[in-house]
Amino acid sequence: MTPAELDEVLRGVSRSFYLSLRVLPGEVRPQLSLAYLLARASDTVADSRAVPRPRRLELLRRMQDGDFGSVAGLAEDQALPEERVLLRRLGELARPLARLGEADQKLIRELLGTIVSGQIFDLERFPGESAEAAAALSDDAELDRYTYLVAGCVGEFWTRLCAARLPAFAALDQARMRELGVRLGKGLQLVNILRDPAADLRIGRCYLPVARPERLLEPDGFAAIKPVYDRWLGAALEHLDAGWDYALSIPPRLWRLRLACIWPIWLGLGTIAGLRRADPLRERVSVGQGRVYAWLAWSALCCGSDRLLDRTYRGLRREAGA
């Protein structure tokens, strides 16, 4: 797969995160793009309900072992054409992956192993495939662990890769940056979970630790879980605060890396602000395209100013609530 072909596949499946991947410095963009595509493909395999659960688990474990081509047979079961293309061509990623240095390959394979272990946890922890058979995570610790497995580990990987490839980033306190990076990943994953609980319920999953999750789609379902829901919105905000420390710790001369971190954080805050005003079991919240474009333009103009960036963050943070 050529770089242009890889970029085409990436654009089709990465949606809003594509912008962050595109703006990254060239020293880390290929590695992060490959890692994203492999993780996106494993997520598609895990969610392929047309395929029996034991088969999905088998394919996920084969991906952990580096067998990417084995998932091509699932391509025609995917509703989205972009996901069909991704699974058909996934085996081709072995070549650009092999062209990377040994250290980069090791980081990507370790990341994929962790993410796939989270997806396997999903399939084994939630045995049902419908709202009537929904199960919930048992406690806060289980949800926190899950957010690490599928997203917090990405912040850790991102930090290790940037430290290896970008000397100005390597000069930072790496233990602190890894901790903040993990929290940024967890915060973004919590936003995803809190944004779409109804869709998860319809496939038998409730990531919030609540009693009787099968009742949440009833008319009074959201009222019953609102205290738990609001508490986790607060947790997501605290993680994004840590992520903001991460973004502003990146030296301004690494402006591409800064922007790649700033955009998902601002989008996460905008989403939380919408969730404060919505019933997420009845409607799906999204940030308007015009507002996103305004953020992109403004952040590019003031990327070198911690003061201006932080002023914007604080305004968005107030909208999102505490």
The reported pTM is: 0.94
Domain parsing of the chain, residue ranges: 1-101, 126-322
Residue pair 197/216 in contact by the 8 Å Cβ criterion: yes
pLDDT at 2 over 80: no
DSSP letters, 265-280, are: HHHHHHHHHHHHTS-T
Q: Maximum Cα–Cα distance for the chain, whole Å?
A: 55
According to DSSP, the residues that pair with 205 across neighbouring strands are 135
pLDDT at 217: 83
* Average pLDDT estimate for 103-132: 93
pLDDT at 322: 61
pLDDT, tens only, 260-307: 999 999 999 999 999 999 899 988 899 999 999 999 999 999 999 999
* Average pLDDT estimate for 144-167: 97
Residue pair 90/68 in contact by the 8 Å Cβ criterion: yes
Pick the CATH number of 126-322 from 1.10.1470.10, 3.90.76.10, 1.10.600.10, 1.20.1740.10: 1.10.600.10
Among 1-5, 252-256, 295-299, whose mean pLDDT is lowest?
Answer: 1-5
pLDDT band at 231 (very low <50, low <70, confident <90, very high): very high
> For residue 99, which of 112, 89, 108, 87 has the smallest C-alpha distance?
108
pLDDT at 212 over 90: no
pLDDT at 111: 97
CA distances in angstroms from 82 to 8, 10, 12, 16, 204, listed in the order given: 10, 9, 5, 14, 25
**What element of type H or E holds 29?**
helix 29-46
> For residue 257, which of 318, 176, 172 has the smallest C-alpha distance?
172
Residue 254 makes CB contacts below 8 A (sequence gap 6+) with 25, 166, 168, 169
Q: How far apart are CA 275 and CA 75, in angstroms?
A: 34
pLDDT, tens only, 5-56: 778 888 888 777 888 999 999 999 999 999 999 999 999 999 888 889 999 9
pLDDT, tens only, 122-144: 999 998 888 888 999 999 999 99
